[in-house]
Structure 1
């Protein structure tokens, strides 16, 4: 007998596919996991396995209820039931703007014999390389930086950032990268136009060359969302323009005439020292959710989700924004096997705001592509985080550094000799480290690596104070993100939430401004996303903030429990 859920959120990760089920009151009812099946040629296989594996959460068995009537998984008989009577009534208050996303219970007829049905399915994904972007601005410290912040906040993986007039080698790199989206910016509103027009012409030449993009299939729906330049059958990635609004018409003509699909949005840097990243962030997410389908089988997921799949990091950012509106300024640190993401939502402290050299967005994401507890163990060793190490923040005493370094040496050198130079080429060569640690030694080892990753990533994310001497005397200036107003620090990812020491690793970094780095307040609370719900709740928030708030209210006691 099939069991019924109001809302199911599917996350297609690079290694694990998750499915979480919720009722409309925000209660998290069921959860399932499966290996992501990119290697099998179809990610929908893993999705169906995750859906079929869904089991009730402890104490919620009575809420994971069977359907009132038996529903056959056969195609013909299932469709004969039509849309369930309950789905229209129970979702009548759901604010999803996409009507086709509502009442997707009928869509499960295309699935194998999975054991659940739903009223609404939502999805996020970081599989198949995630959202690759290139960003191009006028100056590195201003428009290019603002465009970079917008892209990272939308969950992108930045493969190239350029400033000034693009040169041939920049265009060659774009050709090699084959980005999913190109973000073009430059100039304050009604300021310089020449540089951004030059860059638009350079990009137009790429779009005119059919050999650049090969036989890449069209990824944009030309019927509703592209405002201009929508040429049926054109290839290449969509271009989002978020620069000087005075250049809109010329940018549209230059790129549109070359066959590029282009969207216009507000300037990410409309005036001196003014960031405006949210419109571009929203536009990037919209392009991804409607149009970017890379991995085989993603089309099936997109159809079940009503055409909307958002990047997983963007979903986590949505959760950060939601939780900050409910609680305090906060940070979320996600330690993964290959990368560590840090999200913060804070305006900083009044004491440092006037000392900022450059403006910072309220919601900021940084991604450390060299910090992971599985793939990048050697980087964590070379970071020199021990006592007195140049990267060591206050609170990290390095007490286990020596023993951990010896263990890492075994992992990264086949012979065990840290000086023999034989670097391990792949994770499969790492006998003492596992992506899913099982032995006590592996768990202790991975926990220590996670602590290092947290320390380095938070230190890189945080701003710092520096004294400068000017003709008027000594001045204190702040560069980067001021985290001293952060009162809540949350860890997510298996290395922090399922291994010992996760909360301690977070608390150790809450030192305020004691060392010159502007870290979270010493009285900040800490929490752990033990049930892996942050991306799921953020995906719901992207569609319906009120329901996401109910989900977070239900989850918050579990999140903050000691």
Structure 2
């Protein structure tokens, strides 16, 4: 039997998925602790042994072995641009869409103090942008000179004003800085062009960063480490939403990935205004958008989640309101491998997950702002309108192990408490119960039709209590309607007999 082996070298777990490409089925999944400090293949071999025990008796021939990775902290980057809300923000979005963790964004001309900060930040790649094509060129040239002055040897992806590319070639080539030049992330004012930069970042990841992360030994076994794990998830989301050559997509979606350190949101939607009389303002949004909230995590970032949300917001979701919120968050930040065992521990984890989902979604989606003018109130939209998104897909340990994942995902939905936030209003909830999204992103690189079919088959619909109440209400109404029809039919038959 020909199969694909899809591997995710995660920051905590190495996850394996075996796929029967002929029957378009998942043969098995397994995971074990990622062993980046020692030899990354040690954790892989343990997970592989578990997988093969599930497949015992089957004649498996792995024709392809593909991998993604977020091991050793994932792909860490900084983004440099000109104006904070324009080219610097465009550079940040390009980096996030490539699956990176953007540690910081710098604007205007870099200072020596900022350069020292960059040198100490333990990053993998620098994304250098600035200026529209034919626009400001002084800033990006100054920043390039600063990178040369401070002898930076970190790979640099240049995606700024094309007018300066010859000068960049001269500066970086003479200083032996590893660099590549691609198209401007903002060729015109407020116009995004992030895909070329994303692809260039992926190439640098595959060509250089794999070595730095100690993943070269894995490359001897697999056919290729194709991309960072978040980029694989975004790829899966996009192909599921849009479809492939032969397979229909399911429409606009949001993916929520709740982890120990971050909560990632991916939205695949054009984000145009869905309400009449609303004008779109601000920087253009990418169709495939990813945001990473580094202060909203279940373990590493538990304390920062408490600081961002506050005690009252977390208590809103707790059954036992007397629990000490700070103490419980501190406990989790000190015990990052903690697995909840009792009712109150699970309840607290789920309350954290609801808060992380609510805040991350609030930051990711757009909002409406009323502006008062001589003609009356005008409504401006900033960011993406996600109110008509069809599906919210959840992934991550707290969701997978929850008895009520729909309750957590419901925290991402539109709320009357914040009428200006453009969160999904009528979305159905799907759960990635077997952690297949990153695997399907890898598979979609080579067999997108198969990837879409498998995701449609294995992503399971879940309900929240609100949705179940609505469903039960509809079911009751339907039963009453059927009973009325039945009584009417009996009455009609009786009349026919009499008359």
Q: TM-score range with shorter-chain normalisation?
A: 0.7 to 0.9
Q: Does 1:528 align with 2:445?
A: no
Report the alpha carbon displacement of residue 472 of structure 1 after superposing the two structures with TM. 6.1
Which moves more between the two structures, 148-157 or 172-181? 172-181
Counterpart of 1:215 in structure 2 is: none
Counterpart for residue 490 of structure 2: none
Shift of 1:29: 0.7
Q: Do residues 299 (structure 1) and 211 (structure 2) align?
A: no
Asked if residue 66 in structure 1 is aligned to residue 58 in structure 2, the reply is: yes
Alpha-carbon distance, 1:465 to partner = 1.4
Q: Does 1:342 align with 2:272?
A: no
Matched with 2:35 is: 37
Structure 2 equivalent of residue 152 of structure 1: 96
**Is contact 2:4–2:63 with CA below 8 Å preserved after alignment?**
yes
For residue 184 of structure 2, the aligned residue among 241, 244, 267 is 267
Please give the TM-score of this superposition, normalised by the length of structure 1. Answer: 0.75
- Give the Å deviation of 1:238: 1.5
Q: Which has the higher helix share?
A: 2
Q: Is the 8 A contact 1:146 1:277 kept in 2?
A: yes
Q: Cα offset for 1:251?
A: 1.1
CA drift at 1:288: 0.8
C-alpha RMSD over aligned residues: 2.6
Q: Report the counterpart of residue 377 of structure 1 in structure 2.
A: 302
Instruction: Work out which of the residue numbers 12, 19, 25 in structure 2 matches 1:22.
Output: 19
Q: Work out the CA distance in 1 between the residues paired with 2:420 and 2:131.
A: 31
Is the 1:346–1:363 contact (alpha carbons within 8 Å) kept by the matching residues of 2? Answer: yes
Structure 1 gap ranges (5+):
68-115, 213-235, 393-397, 413-422
Match of 1:190 among 116, 120, 134: 134
Could you tell me whether the CA contact under 8 Å between 2:302 and 2:332 is conserved in 1?
no
The equivalent of 1:50 in structure 2 is 47
Aligned-partner Cα distance in 1 for 2:422–2:180: 38
Aligned to 2:283: 358
Query: How far off is 1:279 after superposition?
Result: 1.2
Distance, in Å, in 2 between the alignment partners of 1:514 and 1:483 is: 17
**Residue 150 and residue 561 in structure 1: after superposition, are their counterparts in 2 closer, same or farther (change >3 A)?**
same
CA offsets, 1:59-96, max 9 Å, x none? xx7xx7533xxxxxxxxxxxxxxxxxxxxxxxxxxxxx
The answer on 1:165 being equivalent to 2:109 is yes
Give the superposition deviation at 1:179. 1.9
2:414 to 490, 507, 511: 511
CA contact (8 A) 2:295 2:308 kept: no
Does the CA contact (< 8 Å) of 1:491 and 1:527 recur in 2? Answer: yes
Aligned match of 1:416: none
Q: Give the direction of change, closer, same or farther, for the CA distance of 1:169–1:401 in structure 2 (3 Å limit).
A: same
Please report how far the alpha carbon of residue 471 of structure 1 lies from its aligned counterpart in structure 2 after TM superposition: 6.2
> Contact between 2:133 and 2:163, CA under 8 Å: does it hold in 1?
yes
Match of 1:469 among 356, 372, 385: 372
Query: 1:456 aligned to 359, 369, 383, which one?
Result: 359
Partner SS, residue 187 of structure 2: coil
Take 1:518 and 1:153, find their aligned partners in 2: how far apart are those partners? 23
Is the Cα–Cα contact under 8 Å of residues 137 and 186 in structure 1 kept in the other structure?
Answer: yes
What secondary structure does 1:38 align onto? coil
Cα distance in 2 for residues equivalent to 1:302 and 1:291: 13
In the alignment, which residue of structure 1 is the partner of 2:486? none
Aligned residue in 2 for 1:78: none
The match for 2:489 is none
- Please say if residues 143 and 185 of structure 1, whose CA atoms lie closer than 8 Å, have aligned partners that are also in contact: yes
Matched position secondary structure for 1:54? helix
Structure 2 residue 435 is the aligned partner of structure 1 residue 491: no
Q: Secondary structure at the match of 2:435?
A: coil
Change (3 A) 1:384 1:259: closer
| CA offsets 1:336-373 (integer angstroms, 9 cap, x no match) | 12211111111124346733222111111111111112
Say which is worse superposed, 498-507 or 150-159, in terms of deviation: 498-507
Report the Cα offset of residue 293 of structure 1.
2.1
CA distance in 2, matches of 1:513, 1:203: 49
Matches within 5 A, 1:423-434: 427-428=334-335
After superposition, residues 166-315 of structure 1 pair within 5 angstroms as: 166-207=110-151, 236-293=153-210, 297-315=214-232
Q: Give 1:150 shift.
A: 0.5
Give, in whole Å, the separation in 2 of the partners of 1:511 and 1:6. 41
d(CA) in 1 for partners of 2:333 and 2:414? 36
Determine the structure 2 residue equivalent to 1:105.
none
Flag the 1:242–1:523 CA change in 2: closer, same or farther, 3 A. same
| CA distance 1:380–1:135, shift in 2 (3 Å) | closer
Query: Which residue of structure 2 lines up, in the alignment, with residue 141 of structure 1?
Result: 85
Aligned length in residues: 454
CA-CA distance at 1:22 after TM superposition: 0.5
Match in the other structure for 1:327 = 250
Measured after TM superposition, the shift of residue 382 of structure 1 is 3.8
Report the 3-state secondary structure (helix = DSSP H, G, I; strand = E; otherwise coil) of the residue aligned with 2:32. strand
- Output the TM-score relative to the length of structure 2: 0.84
| Contact 1:312-1:535 at 8 Å conserved across structures | yes
**Partner residue, 1:408:** 325
